Chain A
Amino acid sequence: MAYDSFNKLTSTAVPLPIENIDTDQIIPARFLKATERKGFGDNLFRDWRFNQDDTPKQDFVLNNPTYSGKILIGGRNFGSGSSREHAAWAIYDYGFRCVVSSFFADIFRNNCLNIGVLPVQVSPAFLAEIFEAIENDPTTSITVDLTSQKIQLDKSGSAESFEINSYKKENMLNGYDDIDYLNNIKSEIEDFASKTPL
């Protein structure tokens, strides 16, 4: 097992209703200097979360004790920009296991799937409904069920299904990663490589 498996998650959520949240906001480049995958959560949303003197910015949602949970809800086009997997690591390391948005950037989505953070793409209308529910009640509970590919606002029962290809779904449910798969077909790859000049 390469990472935590993901089956069903019920949690409150942290809302970030801003569009085009890029990976430089999720984790600025100056915090990418580690050579191990450790401590990236400390710098998640660093420049939105802390002043330049390292004191917390009180108006940022991660510094507001009203909001907590393992689900991060972001505005449209979440994770655009750089390929840095550190962005997904920071989200995971902070404690999130699922990111919900109405649209994800490709590389970020892939990176999440590769480390066991579930990206859930919902309709713009359902995203607005989630933001509204949390605004009205920060203790709003959300259930994300990977097996049935369904996300639900537990109180109202309002729900929507989401897409994930069956290969990645199986990986997430079991905590497998692509290297496990690729290693099992190594001879096929070697055959292919022998026919492919450098």
Chain B
Amino acid sequence: MKKTLFDKVWDSHVVRKIENGPDVLFIDRHMVHEVTSPVAFLGLKNRALPVLYPARTFATADHNTPTVNQHLPVADPLSRNQLKALERNANEYGISYWGLGHQKNGIVHVVGPEYGITQPGATIVCGDSHTSTHGAFGAIAFGIGTSEVEMVLATQCIMQPKPKKMRIVINGSLKKGVTPKDVALFIISKLTTSGATGYFVEYAGEVFEQLSMEGRMTVCNLSIEMGARGGMIAPDQKTFEYIKDREFTPQGAAWDKAMAYWNTLYTDQGAAFDKEYLFEGADIDPMITFGTNPGMGISITKAIPKASEIEGAQSTYEKSLTYMGYKEGEKMEGKPIDYVFIGSCTNGRIEDFRAFASIVKGHKRAENVTAWLVPGSHKVLNAIKEEGLLEILEEAEFKLREPGCSACLAMNDDKIPAGKYAVSTSNRNFEGRQGPGARTLLASPLVAAAAAITGKITDPRTLI
């Protein structure tokens, strides 16, 4: 029987199949953060259940954490309480905890791979939809709800029907100034935010093979934005080199044994998918969104589509443009912006800061722009300093903040004010996502950098 990469990993983790029902799926590694876990721990207490395998769960604090003055107590009492609850629960149940101030602290989907928690062929879940990030390593990784967090803590399993399989192949190579973020926004613009609902995606083809691990993480991270349960890429030499000798990766004989398994993780020739898409790398331009979901993206050189040209309800489309303060047919280039945010589990890795620095080097931040530069972890923060990027950023009048989810979801203090336009390297441009009334334009670190120094939407290719 010919199997896809997804089949191989899923099938080898099925504890039991229920007829006309879900599979009982064993979870290798579980990550928790402060927002979606407290009610799960409360559920355990109410049922008087222990955590079955505490060594398989890893906790970090990221959503609520401030990105300035992290050495001071968290000002918001509700955030402080939620962070304390995670620390208490982790200690009580013997779960490793990388809280605020810990050198390993950072965004859950950034630190997981950094410390080798993320591995090929593993099943990984977290109460966060962007868990799909870890699929970059050939893992099955997806977001779950709090009831399922409780299930994993109590039984190391969840119960879900096996999703359908989709493959997205992009061959050729990317043009200058086109980044993994543009690839993802391009795919979502073609498939819409519900185009992959019910599917697990495998990304394949030359473009993904050429991407770095950071780039693959960006692409897999955004799988959920087209509705997919998750996305994955077959592990290769690049994957193995990335994870070798990290804290939680197997060592010595265990590494060799793991490699023997990891080398089997690819889609067999002729294995069947329920749906396949084929695109050309050369057709992708730098992208930007103009509306209120990640599917509303276009090439930065294009005009906002007319309502008559799009699928779906016209009233919903008009509501979206009204919220954004835009009109159909307007060009995106040249529109003024107020904020730039670089960071998040989508684009908060070292490669993203390198890209940002490559554009702003030798320029100055535009006077009308407030810029928040937020590394995804302390490791990223340290790399920015070690590689000399900090000098470049400071020279261009940008300040670096401390790690966390920051303005991606406006749960902490970093909120974009109502009515303001933010070019953001994060993952969602939903109404109010970055603060009540905030208007988000999703884009790559290069587009964000070009906007940050020009004060308006600018094709970064004009600055390279």
Q: How far is the CA of A37 from the CA of B28 in the complex (A)?
A: 28
- State whether B47 touches A179 (Cβ < 8 A): yes
A-B pairs under 8 A by CB, number: 202
Which residue of A has the minimal Cβ distance to B228? A106
- State whether B22 touches A47 (Cβ < 8 A): no
Chain B residues within 8 Å of A75, by CB: 313, 316
The answer to whether the Cβ of A10 comes within 8 Å of any Cβ in the partner chain is no
Q: How far is the CA of A81 from the CA of B81 in the complex (A)?
A: 26
Which residue of A has the minimal Cβ distance to B405? A29
Q: How far is the CB of B379 from chain A (nearest CB, A)?
A: 22
Q: How far is the CA of A169 from the CA of B42 in the complex (A)?
A: 26
Q: How far is the CA of A73 from the CA of B129 in the complex (A)?
A: 24
Q: How far is the CB of A79 from chain B (nearest CB, A)?
A: 10
- State whether A189 touches B154 (Cβ < 8 A): no
Given contacts A29-B63, A33-B79, A179-B154, contact A83 B145 (CB under 8 A): yes
- State whether A81 touches B430 (Cβ < 8 A): yes
Given contacts A18-B319, A115-B147, A186-B155, contact A166 B20 (CB under 8 A): yes
Q: How far is the CB of A145 from chain B (nearest CB, A)?
A: 19
- State whether A193 touches B26 (Cβ < 8 A): yes
- State whether B85 touches A189 (Cβ < 8 A): no
Q: Which of B104-112, B156-164, B277-285, B340-348 contacts A (4 or more CB under 8 A)?
A: B156-164
Chain A residues within 8 Å of B437, by CB: 47, 52
Q: How far is the CA of A166 from the CA of B18 in the complex (A)?
A: 10
The answer to whether the Cβ of B227 comes within 8 Å of any Cβ in the partner chain is yes
The answer to whether the Cβ of B75 comes within 8 Å of any Cβ in the partner chain is no
Given contacts A80-B227, A189-B155, contact A110 B145 (CB under 8 A): yes
- State whether A35 touches B42 (Cβ < 8 A): yes
Q: How far is the CA of A177 from the CA of B81 in the complex (A)?
A: 29
- Pairs across A and B, CB under 8 Å, 15 listed: A24-B430, A28-B432, A33-B64, A33-B76, A33-B411, A35-B85, A37-B39, A52-B418, A81-B428, A110-B144, A110-B145, A111-B147, A182-B151, A192-B26, A196-B26
Binding site for B on A (CB under 8 A): 17-20, 22, 24-25, 28-30, 32-37, 47, 52, 75-77, 80-86, 88, 103-107, 110-111, 114-115, 165-168, 177-179, 181-183, 185-186, 188-189, 192-193, 196-198
User: With A75-B316, A192-B26 given, can you name 15 additional A-B contacts, CB distance below 8 Å?
Assistant: A24-B409, A24-B430, A24-B431, A29-B63, A34-B38, A35-B82, A36-B38, A37-B42, A47-B431, A81-B430, A83-B127, A165-B20, A165-B22, A196-B13, A196-B26
